[in-house]
Amino acid sequence: MSAYSSDFRYLSYAQEVIFTSGAVSRLSESVDRFHWQRLMLCTSRSVKSNGNVALLEDMLGDRLVTIYDQVQPHVPDIQVAEALSLALENHVGAVIGLGGGSPIGMAKAVSFALEEKRTGHSTRSVFPTEQPLIPVIAIPTTYAGSEMTAVYGITHTKETPPRKITVSDPKIAPKLVIYDPELTLDLPPQLTASTGVNALAHCIEAMYSITRHPLSTAAAHRGIRHISNALLRCYQDGKNLEARAQMLLGSHLAGLSLASASMGLHHGLCHVLGGTANVPHGIANSIILPHAIRFNAEATASQLLPAAEAMGISLNGISPVMVIEALAQKVSELVGQMNLPRRLRDAGVDLKESDLPALAQLAFQSHTIQNNPKPITEPAQIETLLQNAW
């Protein structure tokens, strides 16, 4: 069987991607080249405290008209409203997301809503080639991969329980993506580890995605090689620029595969665990990934063999399903080596075992879960997985 379906269809986006050490110094030149004016910066507190915001302020001068620097994980709707009113007051023309998936998600949410406010009608693209009125610039400092995608999630805090909703539209794919490995040198070990596992999860789910295509498979496969080579080294020595660059390259390839292939059970569950139970995104990924690999093993073994091989597992003399079990164990070992929790009970949030059935019900309704390669026909299947992960 080939590694990808023979028929395929996918969207790609017009994006300029710059990847080099020191790339952030090119931001000013790019902003001028695109004639972007009245920029807004969305970021989070810890990114502000390590000097990167000051760097952008110096570089952009009065082209940077406002900063929203409080973005919280999982992007609560209340914060989107605050950032949007700041953007409106300041007649913002482009939005920069600097940091992890949350500030980049916030930049996308502001761009989308701001265009709607300006034009007075829905900003939904009719055709995938439509361009945004308010472009997004993404400068990632974690390995989450949001910079390459046309999706954002926001948490609707007034629902009971709170629920994370995703919005996707080709216009919100960042138009300029700047990857600068130097910006990741300060990423603390736990965030290095957890967002790195998030990148690995994009690649794994892209490999077995029901909408995989030759490019997503190639990107995901190569991404796994780089991540497998570099993640533990980045965790052990955050200042190793060579490992940081290789890991960021792995996360770029992971983001590229995520952008054009639908995800499955793993991503659907992590969204529910984040939006409803407040489990940090990377931690949810670390706990769930080995279980999702096992759950899907029989349906996806042939697609995942190259992933196992890219993680250094020998394919000789053992059945494909056993290779996939070895892959699940390898991921679990990597998670353990980086001192990340491996059980939901250790996720560090107020989650009880008795909450699992309701979480399974909620996840079952998710579109992402319905795209899982092994059909999920009842919430009990998800509940069993959650029990195994408890």
- Binding positions for ligand NAD, rule: CB under 6 A: 44-47, 50, 73-75, 99-103, 105, 141-142, 144-146, 149, 151-153, 184, 186-188, 191, 195, 198, 258, 274, 281-282
Using the minimum distance from each CB to ligand NAD, give the nearer residue, 100 or 373: 100
How many whole angstroms separate alpha carbon 97 and alpha carbon 139? 6
Question: Which residue, 165, 167, 111, 168, is CA-closest to 137?
Answer: 111
Within 10 Å of residue 224's Cβ, how many Cβ atoms? 29
Closest distance between ligand NAD and the C-beta of residue 166, in Å?
7
Using the minimum distance from each CB to ligand NAD, give the nearer residue, 45 or 124: 45
Residue at shortest CB range from ligand NAD: 101
Closest distance between ligand NAD and the C-beta of residue 226, in Å?
17
H helix runs in the chain, sequence order: 27-33, 45-49, 52-60, 77-89, 101-119, 189-207, 214-236, 241-260, 265-275, 281-310, 320-337, 356-364, 367-370, 379-389
Using the minimum distance from each CB to ligand NAD, give the nearer residue, 216 or 297: 216
Closest distance between ligand NAD and the C-beta of residue 349, in Å?
14
Q: Which residues contact 333 (CB under 8 A, 6 or more apart)?
A: none
Closest distance between ligand NAD and the C-beta of residue 120, in Å?
27
The residue whose two tokens read 């000051």 is 54
Using the minimum distance from each CB to ligand NAD, give the nearer residue, 24 or 191: 191
Q: Which residues contact 277 (CB under 8 A, 6 or more apart)?
A: 347, 349, 351, 355, 359
Using the minimum distance from each CB to ligand NAD, give the nearer residue, 174 or 373: 174
Closest distance between ligand NAD and the C-beta of residue 263, in Å?
9
Closest distance between ligand NAD and the C-beta of residue 75, in Å?
6
Using the minimum distance from each CB to ligand NAD, give the nearer residue, 132 or 145: 145
- Strands 16-19, 39-42: pairing is unpaired
How many whole angstroms separate alpha carbon 12 and alpha carbon 145? 15
Q: How many CA atoms lie within 13 A of 39 on its CB side?
A: 24
The length of the chain in residues reads 390
Using the minimum distance from each CB to ligand NAD, give the nearer residue, 280 or 323: 280
Closest distance between ligand NAD and the C-beta of residue 10, in Å?
15
Please provide residue 74's backbone torsions phi and psi, each rounded to the nearest 5 degrees.
70, 10
